[in-house]
A and B are shown apart, each in its own frame.
Chain A
């Protein structure tokens, strides 16, 4: 199992450009998440999905869009990139462990908007 795979690992965008951060998991997990982490801070939830075709907003959804057409893939779309979106982005999926769900995270995408 590869787990949660994110691409690209690094990206520099110019203000106003758009891009899609890719996330795929091979564990057949229904729940998937996108978080962002600013320097020295904890993770903030952007969007999440409880299954194919179902997505919902998290804490900081503005400036982002998601889709979930398959169980495996959960891409995050940035439209009209802004410097405030400079951050490290983590994708995650959740798995059942004992009595509750645990999360497994990808290695992140470091995005800089200039």
Chain B
């Protein structure tokens, strides 16, 4: 499985936008970029995914670099509830599996 690299942690302020980076320099053409988040004492939660084009949903936006070697999860207006561990994951299009790394802890300051 192709690997992703994320910072160990980031801090943001409430009601400000947050840009969470992810590098995936060995991504292949059939790898989907997925983001999940895990709130304390809960199971992971699907956030968003994309292949080549930028994606928006009610939770976040995903900006994918033109060469697909990096992506950025954008939370447009951070709230305290967004404090979580965020996982950037590459999922091979033909695979049934999702492989998690250690993720990145986001702290949101009031």
Contacts and interface: CB of A to CB of B under 8 A. Distances in A.
A45 B44 CA distance: 13
A43 B36 CA distance: 12
Interface in B44-80: 44-46, 49, 51, 55
A100 B45 contact: no
B44 A48 contact: no
Contacts of B51: 99-100
B96 A48 contact: yes
Contacts, number: 59
Interface in A94-114: 94, 97-108
A104 B49 contact: no
Interface in B85-110: 87, 91, 93, 96-103
Contacts of A102: 34, 46, 49
A98 B49 contact: yes
Interface residues on A, range: 20 to 34
A40 B96 CA distance: 25
A100 B100 contact: no
B96 A100 contact: no
Contacts of B96: 31, 48, 50, 94
Contacts of A74: none
Interface in A1-46: 4, 31, 33, 35, 40-45
A58 interface: yes
A56 to B, nearest CB: 8
A92 interface: yes
Given A90-B43, A100-B91, A102-B46, A42 B32 contact: no
Contacts of B41: 108
B101 A103 contact: no
Interface of B: 32, 34, 36, 41-46, 49, 51, 55, 87, 91, 93, 96-103
